[in-house]
């Protein structure tokens, strides 16, 4: 796997962790989840910056945010017991399709 994708995947994992901690922090009233927000977003932006050495910012951001949306939606469903309606599922499906199109057909990711 090319190094830019390793960096990007790690950035997405950190961002997803930070966002989940943001919800769990209860508006920054809980210490450990609040620290998780800081760690998560610091790690996310560090690895996002490394990814930008190899790929254009628009492509990186599209993939980063798209995968982050999908992962945080799954965390919301399973850990925070949040529900979505049909329109939300369709929209998230379109985001997934967009990330797939970028990765399969864009020469900007290589």
What local confidence, expressed as pLDDT, does residue 109 receive? 73
- How many Cα neighbours within 13 Å face the side chain of 110? 5
The conformation of residue 108, written as its DSSP 8-state character, comes to G
* N- to C-terminal Cα separation, the chain: 11
Place 1 in a pLDDT band, splitting at 50, 70 and 90. Answer: confident
Please calculate the CA angle 8-76-23 and round it to the nearest 5 degrees.
Answer: 85
The pTM of this model reads 0.90
- In the three-class reduction of DSSP (H, G, I as helix; E, B as strand; rest coil), residue 81 is classed as coil
């Amino acid at each position: 796997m090319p190094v830019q994708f390793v960096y990007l995947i790690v950035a997405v994992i950190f961002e997803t962790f930070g966002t989940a901690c943001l919800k769990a922090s209860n508006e920054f009233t809980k210490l450990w989840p609040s620290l998780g927000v800081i760690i998560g977003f610091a790690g996310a932006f560090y690895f996002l910056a490394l990814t930008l050495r190899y790929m254009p910012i628009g492509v990186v951001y599209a993939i980063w945010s798209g995968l982050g949306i999908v992962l945080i939606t799954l965390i919301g469903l399973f850990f925070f017991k949040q529900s979505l309606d049909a329109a939300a599922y369709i929209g998230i499906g379109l985001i997934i399709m967009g990330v797939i199109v970028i990765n399969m057909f864009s020469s900007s990711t290589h």
